[in-house]
Chains A and B, each alone.
Chain A
Amino acid sequence: MDILKVNNVSKRYTNHVALDDVSLSVPEGSIYGLLGPNGAGKTTLIRIINHITAPDSGSVEFLGHPLTADDVVNIGYLPEERGLYKKMRVGDQALFFARLKGLKTKEATAELRKWFDRFGISDWWNRKVEELSKGMAQKVQFIVTVLHRPKLLIFDEPFSGFDPINADLLKNEILRLRDEGATVIFSTHNMDSVETLCDNITLINRSHNILSGNVTEIRQRMGRGRYRLSFEGDPQALLAALGDRVVDHTFEKEVNSPVTNARLLLQPDVTIRETISLANGSVDLVSFDRAMPSMNEIFIHTVKNNEQ
């Protein structure tokens, strides 16, 4: 079942169109990547999902009904640009945000204690926020976002400002929340984390949805006809054997060994079996692999194609 459905949403500002007829569906219990270059309209879409701004046209469905203001207690949003009240104590501040999300003071305090213990920051409770470093404040913001056990979590660049150790801690927390049943929408420019975390993605460019789907499927589809192989022998012999099946190729000879590494793009209807037998007749194969394009390549390739 889809926890969130965005149907043909458009949003215009005075001087530009932020979103033009964007649709997407987020399956419950998955991690969904919302990708796109800066200024593509991601933040506007996230604000619409958070009921902060209203779309000019189109609709948003949440848990099967049209999104209303009351739904925000079931959503947790960690904005890209985020801050805290500097003069407030950490504990008071976390309680303030928890109560805004509808928690009673008592249960909020108990939950907060648990989270503070888990993150090893229990002794921060009475410290003022201005005494915290950026990374420390980010931890508090993360807790505030997830404390009320929202069904839908939206993270906008959650890892920026975290050191690798804390980024890893955060990643594991996000996966744990997903395993406990939460759905996560994840907006980032870090494509490595998209590959490891996201089940599905939508790529937005110039206010349009230009690519949507399952990450593995997209990579396989985009990777059709791409192979990575290593061999000993003459690269030209290999090319001659494969003939006009080759669309594109690169060779790279290893410095202190007879091995050459190659990347090939073949015609889509060429099978693996056929390729291997033809290659084996001309050179000595060391390894052969289907090359999946990285999300990074897909991002750049798709956006560039879209701009043309």
Chain B
Amino acid sequence: MNNNLGIIVRREFMERVGKKSFIVTTLLMPLLMLLMMALPALIAIFSTPSDKTIAVCDQSGVVMPLLQDAGLDHLTFVTASAPADSAIHDSGYYGVLSIPTDIVARPSSAMLFLHEGGSVETESAIRNLIKEAVRDQRMKAYDINNLQQILDETNVEVSLQTIRVDETGAGEATSSALSFGIGMFMTFLLYMFLLMYGQLVMTSIIEEKNNRVLELVVSSVKPIHLMLGKIFGVGLVAVVQIVIWGALLCAMSAFLLPLLIPAEVGQQVAMFDTGSLSAGTDTLDPDLLNAISLFSSVGYIAKLFGFILIFLIGGFLFYASIFAAIGSAVDNVQDASQLTSFAILPIIVGLIVGMTAGSDPNSTLAFWTSVIPFTSPMVMLMRVPFGIPSWEIWLALGLLYLSFLGMVWIAAKIYRIGIFMYGKKPSLRDLIRWARYK
């Protein structure tokens, strides 16, 4: 009879994987994500702001030289040929900037007249230039020797290299910002999958029940096998999708990334990896080097996807059992909405707690929510990139898979009653009563 479980799983799997929509989403989704990441850069490249000329009436004489030397793109400053109040009528200019004589004493007295709505960018550029001019003038008033040199020497950029030391004492370069980003990505991916595929299990059970194919199937298959077959079949689809994405990412990191990185960056990454990057040398930001280093490591990406997979499988099995029980009890998706909140709410809580856990991955809240089955898949994935003791991961996994067994046992009891119930919209109390039947 267990052979039947295999036949059901196969049918559920083939029905979904064979669909065009699955193939399209699986291949297009990563492209779409890449595009989203590249979008801001693309917008910056392709959106060229219009050229603007601003007439300046500089009565102080200290701001204009700076404005002219600033060399801002698309923004030109010319000395106004007439006083401000008459220059404003000359529509050849984008606007007129009026600087009073006492600008150094009263920096907020400058005025900008425009024919049309202003732009944040232009205004902040002008504000910064005036600020710089005023500051220069005020500093000059102190009459310090070699002022410019002193300023240049004292202006330093600081970046911090974080080394996490694990149990064995080996150091590993980390970056909290990077870990947060990776954790966020994994948590969100899992959240998406649990909701999407969990509800898929539910709606497809409702559909089977509605079109009465169920009556035909249960005469050959035990209800619990039918339910498990559905859960496993749909779960397998999710696993295949994640594996494909993981493989695509690994392939990109192995073949595409080396082509995109310039040679000198590559050298710095290599030095960063061996720890021979001496302090003080002028290099790229360590966070960036760290990110490049991680994403060029196929092993690291494979490991991340491994984590996603084991928590996805556990979390999916757990939640899909709940969704299956709900689906069996109702006649249509509308009736299900009230009951589904019992499944959806913990998933959302998991996502939210997961996000906050990113800012303090070792807090008590983060620890407990990452081992308790309802929220553990999401929160644990957030904590994993920060490097946590492996026993915590094993504990969370053990609890998750154990509670799947418990949940599927309860769900099967509800399912075998629910699939034959038509008409009345069941309440949570009904479900609990069915679960208690002998």
Contacts and interface: CB of A to CB of B under 8 A. Distances in A.
B220 interface: yes
Top 3 A-B residue pairs of the complex, sorted by shortest distance between their CB atoms: A83-B211, A83-B212, A79-B215
Contacts of B8: 100
A69 B216 contact: no
A126 to B, nearest CB: 14
Interface in A66-80: 69-70, 72-73, 75, 77, 79
A72 B220 contact: yes
B220 A100 contact: yes
B236 to A, nearest CB: 17
Nearest to A78: B216
A100 B217 contact: yes
Given A83-B214, A88-B15, A99-B7, 14 more contacts: A69-B1, A79-B216, A79-B219, A81-B212, A81-B215, A82-B212, A82-B213, A85-B213, A86-B211, A87-B15, A96-B7, A97-B216, A97-B220, A100-B7
B224 to A, nearest CB: 11
A47 B214 CA distance: 13
9 contacts: A69-B1, A77-B216, A79-B212, A79-B215, A82-B213, A84-B213, A97-B217, A100-B217, A144-B216
Contacts of A97: 216-217, 220
B221 interface: yes
Q: Interface of chain B, helix or strand or loop or mixed?
A: helix
Nearest to B16: A87
Contacts of A282: none
A50 interface: yes
Interface string B213-233: 111111111110000000000
A25 interface: no
B52 interface: no
A47 B222 CA distance: 12
Given A85-B15, A96-B11, A50 B219 contact: yes
Interface in A188-202: none
B218 A52 contact: yes
A141 interface: yes
Nearest to A102: B3
B59 interface: no
A206 interface: no
A101 interface: yes
Contacts of A144: 216
Given A69-B1, A82-B212, A83-B211, A101 B15 contact: no
Contacts of A70: 1
B4 interface: yes
A89 B237 CA distance: 20
Contacts, number: 58
Interface string B182-225: 00000000000000000000000000100111111111111100
B421 to A, nearest CB: 10
A99 to B, nearest CB: 5
Given A77-B219, A88-B15, A101-B220, A83 B213 contact: yes
B183 to A, nearest CB: 38
Contacts of B223: 52
Contacts of A52: 218-219, 223
Given A82-B216, A141-B216, A100 B15 contact: no
Contacts of B212: 79, 81-83
A72 B8 CA distance: 17
Most buried by A among B1, B219, B420, B433: B219
Interface string B1-33: 100100110010001000000000000000000
A144 B420 CA distance: 21
Interface string B257-284: 0000000000000000000000000000
Nearest to A76: B219
B222 A69 contact: yes
B331 to A, nearest CB: 13
Most buried by A among B15, B215, B220, B433: B220
A82 B1 contact: no
A267 B212 CA distance: 51
Contacts of A88: 11, 15
Contacts of A77: 216, 219
A82 B215 contact: yes
A85 B233 CA distance: 15
B431 to A, nearest CB: 13
Nearest to A75: B219
Contacts of B15: 85, 87-88
A71 to B, nearest CB: 11
A110 to B, nearest CB: 18
Most buried by A among B7, B11, B214, B216: B216
Most buried by B among A52, A69, A70, A100: A100
A226 to B, nearest CB: 41
A97 B1 CA distance: 14
Contacts of B217: 97, 100
Nearest to B14: A92
Contacts of B208: 85
A72 B4 CA distance: 12
Contacts of B213: 82-85
B216 A83 contact: yes
Nearest to B217: A100
A266 to B, nearest CB: 48
Contacts of B7: 96, 99-100
A76 B147 CA distance: 98
A144 B216 CA distance: 9
A50 B218 CA distance: 9
